[in-house]
A and B are shown apart, each in its own frame.
Chain A
């Protein structure tokens, strides 16, 4: 049913560190690789080798340039996937009950055999987390790799979402954000984890850790700098002659 549960036993989700992400897009590729051949319909591509390629992805990495009031501009890589909102508008708008939020772990799913492909859930999502698969005609979204995280056929180290397992920078973390003592909850508390578009009232489970402030390099490079002998301030020889000649021109 598309009625949201009052509360969920756990709130499984991701914590994404915008300070650490290097923008390599490895999570995008590993997500597509895992999810195109496991749970649900494959993530199709259209005109993959032609002039206008396009395809279904559950995770995408944007990049932004931020100019703080003081200091240098920063480049911030910004991975974005389903935030598994507590008050998920994509679930309540669904006319068929294909969209649902699980009580036991809070994951938002699409039951693909009930999906009519009307697209209204994607319209209601502020984050662009849902994409219609053009080959299958059903809505695709992140499942937090539900076929990995509880899969006892995999070594324990692999029982995390594919994007988390792949990230070479350790910028993605997976855990129960409903448990204040979990590693991810502590990380969020410590680093001031934030919600995206809080004004939409979606109460996202996934949190983003803001970039840390960068060190400022002032005029003085080193406290010993004034004690060092100045490097040739007045040119001598040929350069002196050139300087004078050019001045005269």
Chain B
């Protein structure tokens, strides 16, 4: 799949933003007034910034409001509802914490739940697609949610919770790469089933339908970026998990905490780039490529 910057920025930033909102909704850290305001501003900036970035790839962003209509079948529509609900509920909760020094527990918990549900619905947009076997796995929602919660704990300054959550997210990431690499073969879709012309190994794409490129090849058949995938996986893993965990273990310093957050964000963004660049769409089979 084409790793469009808009979707990478969207899933990375809003994942972190809703992760932070989750912990703020649970009252972690237990702050109020100006300090709370700073935390909420960061969380809302990440969540809303990510959502806005996702509209950049739309052909008609001015019609985006219509996306709220099809929640019965469409995960993208459900994501819109969850995101707006989470943001509104958390805005109400934030108002109480920042200006009235009131912690409306129930509202906070509802906001936290809606924040996790938003990340879940985002992941389901990708998970539901049978056409992309690497995404069509139960582990995809686990990947998105574990990343979001680990990053949220890190941003919320919850060192004790962040360490195990980073470790869990790291394990999910390794398992996701391991299973993802086998997913296409496991899907049993090949040139044989795509064309119905017999066993896979007896068919060869002789001539493409067009001499130039087209939307399908640009959007679904992204081969170039996979060249350095293995090296990028290592870099992403070190940045997202290894370095932050080390920085959390050493004696606390504000510079270390900031470095841990920045390193984690960079690592997650790189992991998301790989999430798209390494995903292979079955339509590539018709072109004899993947």
Contacts and interface: CB of A to CB of B under 8 A. Distances in A.
Nearest to A61: B209
B60 to A, nearest CB: 5
B44 to A, nearest CB: 23
Contact of A115 (B59, B220, B282): B59
Greatest chain A CB density within 10 A among B68, B70, B203, B281 is at: B70
Contact of A93 (B128, B198, B207): B128
A177 to B, nearest CB: 16
A131 to B, nearest CB: 4
B263 interface: no
Contacts of A183: none
B70 A95 contact: yes
B129 interface: yes
Given A66-B202, A96-B66, A200 B130 contact: yes
B252 interface: no
B251 interface: no
Interface size class of A (residues with CB under 8 A): 35 or more
Contact of B193 (A67, A80, A197): A197
A30 interface: no
Contacts of A195: 196
B74 A65 contact: no
B212 A54 contact: yes
Contacts of B64: 116
A167 interface: no
Contact of B197 (A53, A76, A199): A76
Contacts of A115: 59-60, 63
Nearest to A67: B202
Interface stretch (B75-83, B96-104, B227-235): B75-83
B196 A119 contact: no
Interface string A50-72: 00111111001111111111000
A163 interface: no
A200 B131 contact: yes
A97 B213 contact: no
Nearest to B63: A116
B132 interface: yes
Interface in A87-134: 89, 91-98, 114-120, 122-128, 131-132, 134
A190 B198 CA distance: 19
A117 B58 contact: yes
B125 A64 contact: no
Specify which of A18, A98, A116 lies most central, judged by the most chain B CB atoms within 10 Å of its CB: A116
Interface residues of B, number: 57
Given A93-B76, A94-B70, A197-B189, A60 B60 contact: no
Interface string B126-146: 001111100000000000000
Contacts of B197: 18, 64, 66, 76, 210-211
B195 interface: yes
A124 B197 CA distance: 23
B205 A62 contact: yes
Contacts of B63: 96, 114-116
Contacts of A138: 59-60
A208 B129 contact: no
Interface in A179-195: 194-195
A18 B57 CA distance: 38
Given A96-B63, A126-B131, A116 B215 contact: no
A65 B204 contact: yes
B283 interface: yes
A118 B58 contact: yes
Contacts of A155: none
A198 B74 contact: no
Contact of A137 (B59, B187, B204, B287): B59
A235 interface: no
Contacts of B194: 126, 196-197
29 contacts: A54-B212, A54-B214, A60-B209, A63-B209, A64-B205, A66-B197, A67-B204, A76-B195, A80-B286, A93-B74, A95-B77, A96-B66, A114-B63, A117-B60, A120-B76, A123-B131, A123-B219, A123-B220, A123-B281, A124-B128, A134-B215, A137-B58, A196-B195, A197-B189, A197-B282, A199-B187, A199-B189, A200-B130, A201-B130
Interface of A: 1-3, 18, 25, 28, 52-57, 60-69, 75-76, 78, 80, 89, 91-98, 114-120, 122-128, 131-132, 134, 136-138, 194-201, 208, 210-211
Given A64-B204, A118-B58, A120-B76, 13 more contacts: A52-B212, A54-B212, A54-B213, A62-B208, A67-B202, A89-B129, A97-B66, A123-B281, A125-B283, A132-B215, A199-B187, A200-B130, A210-B196
